[in-house]
């Protein structure tokens, strides 16, 4: 496990890579990648048991990025963990790349589940957690879902079932960055009070600052100790976090920075 | 008269047999377990059965997740809810990552009967065969159902097996061997070939008898393996008999008829007729009434053969 200062440096490095990758690809989703960077970095470098040398290790903790469009941050973290060389990162979204526009478990080492059509990944994470229960294994299953994604009905089918099956080996982060393609989540289709919804569905709920590594670690620890119910960590985040001209800007949901913007972003992330 | 067996009953019993052999097999249903017969598995292996309630999309995701952890999930539902209702989930959570999920549906086609159009899957073959990595099987009777289910469980990758609700006469005996991608000839003939699947296979046998009395000898091919389709058998039938009739309890758009037409069009254009539901929704009625009004019986097959023979003769001139 890395200490907090190192994790913060790691997260900064991930953000720089995200900017590099998306600029080079000239397409991708910077906003939602940057909003969940602290969560996914902390998961892979501090919370999860996993092995880059053996991605199919049966006892490993599983991870599903249900909001699959934020995969640049996922890929950057996997690469830093050693799942594949950093040279692959700049091939994001290019023909024949192992780094597809949305996560593809068949071609990317370390990706446990293919996602991209919103709402589907959480059900798969539930299935992985159920398999762990059937086999009485100790591994845990982590997932990140989006707030816009929470408008999908399948999220709530999964929510109901995970509580029904008492999947306490499942811990989900809701990356609440408050923006979606067409505008503010609250204007497009309000999901609030979202934490109350998860509570009503029978989950253990925790509210955190999604950019506080300390709070992410603490919440995951509480989730680990919680028995009989799955945990939903509602993470308050900022879309485009740490790049001033991207923060809170809808236009950077799915638009790549140009070279000039890339340089400015990298200066801010030094 | 041949013994009558419901394919879903055979399926229910087969799951128990296979469950004893394969400890990693788990069965999922969405509140239709008593009808799909997965309830029998649940009574035998309660710790390996999961009822997801009425949430089919979620069920497909669970199956996908379970399969990534080494389980062999069998997912059951009525055909309408195990295909169109969950198309995107099957496409992206199962077929794209090529996961080891077996979707085995019952109550396909109009022979569901009284429940009407909302419950009559006549588009599911079309949807499922269009998905890369998917294997699609429509067994003709109880014997073939048991063999196809076993084959699916023992073979890696996504499968869609389509069963019905009704009791069907056995067209095969225990010596029958199911071979994926191969059509089995139930009858040899030289005038035309009927290529059928599901309950239409037995109707084809009846039609062949009627035609034989009129001096017309037809070949019958059982096309249980819709995908992969047996191109070789189709081309050979076209060469040797010169006329093709397809018969399926499904829309004529996108199902077996289309699969056969695709092969013929590319390899050996041949007069053909498609017996199936003519681009319309189903409705309530008894299965027998519905099969008649939608033209899904031996009478309609006979008519189609006579029609296609007329075109074959014209072509000959």
- State residue B313's pLDDT score: 74
Spatial separation of the C-alpha atoms in residues A151 and B21, rounded to whole Å: 42
Residue A255: is its pLDDT beyond 80?
yes
Summarize pLDDT for B264-291 with one digit per residue, the tens. 999 999 999 999 999 999 999 999 999 9
Q: Determine which of A124, A156, A167 to mutate to test the interface with B (most B C-beta atoms within 10 Å).
A: A124
A127: chain B residues, CB-CB within 8 Å: 61-69, 73
- State residue A47's pLDDT score: 98
Would the CB atoms of A158 and B92 count as touching at under 8 Å? no
- State residue B317's pLDDT score: 45
Nearest CA in chain A to B50: A165
B23 at the A interface (CB within 8 A)?
A: no
Domain A4-268 homologous superfamily, CATH: Thiamin diphosphate (ThDP)-binding fold, Pyr/PP domains (3.40.50.970)
Would the CB atoms of A104 and B64 count as touching at under 8 Å? no
Residue B252 distance to chain A (closest CA, Å): 30
Would the CB atoms of A58 and B70 count as touching at under 8 Å? yes
Would the CB atoms of A131 and B71 count as touching at under 8 Å? yes
Summarize pLDDT for B115-128 with one digit per residue, the tens. 999 999 999 999 99
Would the CB atoms of B61 and A120 count as touching at under 8 Å? yes
- DSSP-based three-state secondary structure for B227: strand
Would the CB atoms of B55 and A160 count as touching at under 8 Å? yes
Summarize pLDDT for A74-94 with one digit per residue, the tens. 999 999 999 999 999 999 999
In the predicted model, what is the mean pLDDT of chain A? 97
Q: Determine which of A60, A64, A127 to mutate to test the interface with B (most B C-beta atoms within 10 Å).
A: A127
Summarize pLDDT for A96-105 with one digit per residue, the tens. 999 999 999 9
Residue A167 distance to chain B (closest CA, Å): 12
- DSSP-based three-state secondary structure for B130: coil
Work out the average pLDDT over A238-254.
Answer: 97
Over pLDDT 90: what percentage of chain A? 99
Residue A2: is its pLDDT beyond 80?
no
Tell the residue number behind the tokens 């902390």, with chain if given. Answer: A42
A129: chain B residues, CB-CB within 8 Å: 65
Helices (H) and strands (E) in chain B, counts: 12, 14
Would the CB atoms of A127 and B57 count as touching at under 8 Å? no
Nearest CA in chain A to B28: A127
Domain locations along chain B: 4-169, 184-316
Residue among A131, A149, A151 nearest A140 (CA)? A131
Summarize pLDDT for B190-232 with one digit per residue, the tens. 999 999 999 999 999 999 999 999 999 999 999 999 999 999 9
A128: chain B residues, CB-CB within 8 Å: 65-66, 68-69
Q: Determine which of B22, B52, B53, B62 to mutate to test the interface with A (most A C-beta atoms within 10 Å).
A: B62
B131: chain A residues, CB-CB within 8 Å: none
Work out the average pLDDT over A33-44.
Answer: 98
Work out the average pLDDT over A175-197.
Answer: 98
Nearest CA in chain B to A163: B52
Do the domains B184-316 and B4-169 match in fold?
A: yes
In terms of Cβ atoms closer than 10 Å to its own Cβ (0-12, 13-18, 19+), residue A188 is middle
A161: chain B residues, CB-CB within 8 Å: 52-53, 55, 58, 62
pLDDT band at A248 (very low <50, low <70, confident <90, very high): very high
Q: What is the token pair recorded at A23? A: 């600029």
Would the CB atoms of B57 and A126 count as touching at under 8 Å? no
Q: Determine which of B23, B68, B88 to mutate to test the interface with A (most A C-beta atoms within 10 Å).
A: B68
Residues of B identified as active-site: 56
Q: What is the token pair recorded at A233? A: 């960590």
Q: What is the token pair recorded at A54? A: 């053996």
For the domain spanning B184-316, the CATH number is 3.40.50.920
Would the CB atoms of A131 and B92 count as touching at under 8 Å? no
- State residue B264's pLDDT score: 98
In degrees rounded to 5, what are phi and psi of residue B219? -90, 145
Which letter does DSSP use for residue B277 in this model? E
For the domain spanning B4-169, the CATH number is 3.40.50.970
Work out the average pLDDT over A173-181.
Answer: 98
Which letter does DSSP use for residue B121 in this model? B
Residue B8: is its pLDDT beyond 90?
yes
- State residue B2's pLDDT score: 80
pLDDT band at A1 (very low <50, low <70, confident <90, very high): low
Spatial separation of the C-alpha atoms in residues B123 and B277, rounded to whole Å: 10
Spatial separation of the C-alpha atoms in residues B314 and B305, rounded to whole Å: 14
Would the CB atoms of A114 and B93 count as touching at under 8 Å? yes
Work out the average pLDDT over B28-42.
Answer: 97
| Contact criterion met (CB below 8 Å) for B283 and B113 | no
Bridge-based pairing of strands B135-137 and B225-227 is: antiparallel
Provide the β-strand partners of residue B196: B222, B247
B97: chain A residues, CB-CB within 8 Å: 104-106, 113-114
B55 at the A interface (CB within 8 A)?
A: yes
Q: Which of A117, A124, A135 sits opposite B88 (nearest CB)?
A: A117
Work out the average pLDDT over B3-9.
Answer: 94
| Contact criterion met (CB below 8 Å) for A250 and A181 | yes
Domain locations along chain A: 4-268
């Amino acid at each position: 496990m890395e200490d907090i200062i190192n994790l913060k440096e790691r997260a900064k490095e991930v953000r720089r890579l995200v900017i590099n990758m998306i600029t080079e690809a000239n397409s991708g989703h910077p906003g939602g990648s940057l909003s969940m960077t602290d969560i996914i970095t902390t998961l892979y470098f501090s919370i999860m048991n996993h092995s880059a040398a053996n991605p199919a290790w049966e006892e490993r903790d599983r991870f599903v990025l249900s909001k699959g469009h934020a995969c640049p941050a996922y890929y950057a973290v996997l690469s830093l963990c050693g799942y594949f060389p950093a040279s692959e990162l700049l091939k994001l979204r290019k023909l024949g790349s192992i780094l597809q526009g949305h996560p593809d478990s068949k071609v990317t080492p370390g990706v446990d589940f293919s996602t991209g059509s919103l709402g589907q990944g959480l059900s798969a994470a539930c299935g992985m957690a159920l398999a762990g229960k059937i086999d009485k294994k100790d591994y845990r299953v982590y997932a990140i879902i989006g707030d816009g994604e929470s408008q999908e009905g399948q999220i709530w089918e999964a929510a109901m079932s995970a509580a029904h099956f008492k999947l306490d080996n499942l811990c989900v982060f809701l990356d609440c960055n408050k923006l979606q393609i067409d505008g503010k989540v609250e204007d497009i289709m309000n999901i609030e009070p979202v934490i109350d919804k998860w509570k009503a569905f029978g989950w253990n709920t925790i509210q955190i600052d999604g950019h506080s590594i300390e709070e992410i670690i603490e919440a995951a620890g509480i989730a680990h100790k919680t028995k009989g119910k799955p945990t939903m960590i509602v993470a308050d985040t900022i879309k485009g976090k740490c790049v001033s001209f991207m923060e809170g800007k809808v236009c950077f949901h799915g638009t790549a920075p140009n070279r000039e913007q890339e340089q400015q972003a990298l200066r801010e992330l030094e | 008269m041949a013994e009558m067996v419901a394919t879903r009953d055979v399926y229910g019993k087969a799951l128990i047999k296979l469950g004893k052999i394969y400890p990693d097999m788990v069965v999922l249903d969405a509140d239709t377990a008593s009808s799909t017969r997965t309830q029998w598995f649940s009574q035998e292996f309660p710790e390996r059965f999961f009822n997801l309630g009425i949430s089919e999309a979620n069920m497909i995701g669970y199956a996908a997740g379970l399969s990534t952890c080494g389980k062999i999930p069998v997912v059951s539902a009525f055909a309408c809810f195990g295909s169109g209702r969950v198309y995107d989930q099957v496409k992206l959570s199962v077929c794209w990552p090529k996961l080891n999920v077996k979707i085995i549906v019952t109550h396909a086609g109009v022979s569901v009967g009284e429940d009407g159009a909302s419950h009559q899957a006549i588009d599911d073959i079309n949807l499922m065969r269009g998905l890369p990595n998917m294997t699609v099987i429509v067994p003709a009777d109880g014997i073939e159902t048991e063999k196809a289910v076993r084959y699916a469980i023992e073979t890696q990758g996504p499968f869609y097996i389509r069963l019905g609700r009704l009791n069907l006469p056995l067209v095969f005996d225990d010596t029958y061997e199911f071979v994926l991608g191969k059509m089995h000839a139930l009858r040899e003939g030289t005038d035309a070939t009927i290529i059928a699947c599901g309950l239409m296979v037995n109707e084809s046998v009846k039609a062949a008898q009627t035609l034989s009395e009129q001096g017309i000898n037809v070949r019958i091919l059982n096309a249980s393996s819709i995908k992969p389709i047996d191109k070789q058998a189709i081309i050979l039938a076209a060469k040797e008999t010169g006329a093709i009739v397809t018969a399926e309890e499904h829309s004529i758009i996108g199902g077996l008829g289309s699969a056969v037409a695709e092969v013929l069009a590319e390899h050996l254009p041949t007069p053909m007729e498609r017996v199936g539901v003519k681009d319309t929704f189903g409705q309530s009625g008894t299965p027998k009434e519905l099969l008649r009004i939608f033209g899904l019986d031996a009478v309609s097959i006979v008519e189609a053969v006579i029609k296609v023979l007329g075109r074959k003769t014209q072509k000959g001139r």
